[in-house]
């Protein structure tokens, strides 16, 4: 399974599961991390063989640690930029999956 496929599988899990696994297995969990970034970190650990999908799914559900408070006006701009970046990342992952599928079809 490719890294992008692992990321997608983890990102499909409920937020408390991803947050719980990230908080449990990351040696130094960051505050204010997104589900996408946590999914990516967990997927890289699965790809490296240090974690399994079962480890992640059996983690105690949790929430992400809150980021420090910021000015709401700045927060709105950050949220908007984060949404665009998150959408772009999702589109890129979808494209990678399509490329993997095409590669699989060609190699068969």
Q: How many residues does the chain have?
A: 108
Q: Place 56 in a pLDDT band, splitting at 50, 70 and 90.
A: very high
Residue 5 has pLDDT above 80, yes or no: yes
**Using N-to-C axis directions, what is the helix angle for 15-25 and 35-48, rounded to 10°?**
60
- In this prediction, residues 23-41 reach a mean pLDDT of 91
Q: Tens of pLDDT along 69-86? A: 556 666 667 677 777 887
- In eight-state DSSP terms, residue 16 is H
Q: How far is CA 7 from CA 26, 53, 65, 68, in A?
A: 16, 11, 21, 27
At 32, the pLDDT band (50, 70, 90 cuts) reads: confident
What number is the average pLDDT over the span 58-69?
76
């Amino acid at each position: 399974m490719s890294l992008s496929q692992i990321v997608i599988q983890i990102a499909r899990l409920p937020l408390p599961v991803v947050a719980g696994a990230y908080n449990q297995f990351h040696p130094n969990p960051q505050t204010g991390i997104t589900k996408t970034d946590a999914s990516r970190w967990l997927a890289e650990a699965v790809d490296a063989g240090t974690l399994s999908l079962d480890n992640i799914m059996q983690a105690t559900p949790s929430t992400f640690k809150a980021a420090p408070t910021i000015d709401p006006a700045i927060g709105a701009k950050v949220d908007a930029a984060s949404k665009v970046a998150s959408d772009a990342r999702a589109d890129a992952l979808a494209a990678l999956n399509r490329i993997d599928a095409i590669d699989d079809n060609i190699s068969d």
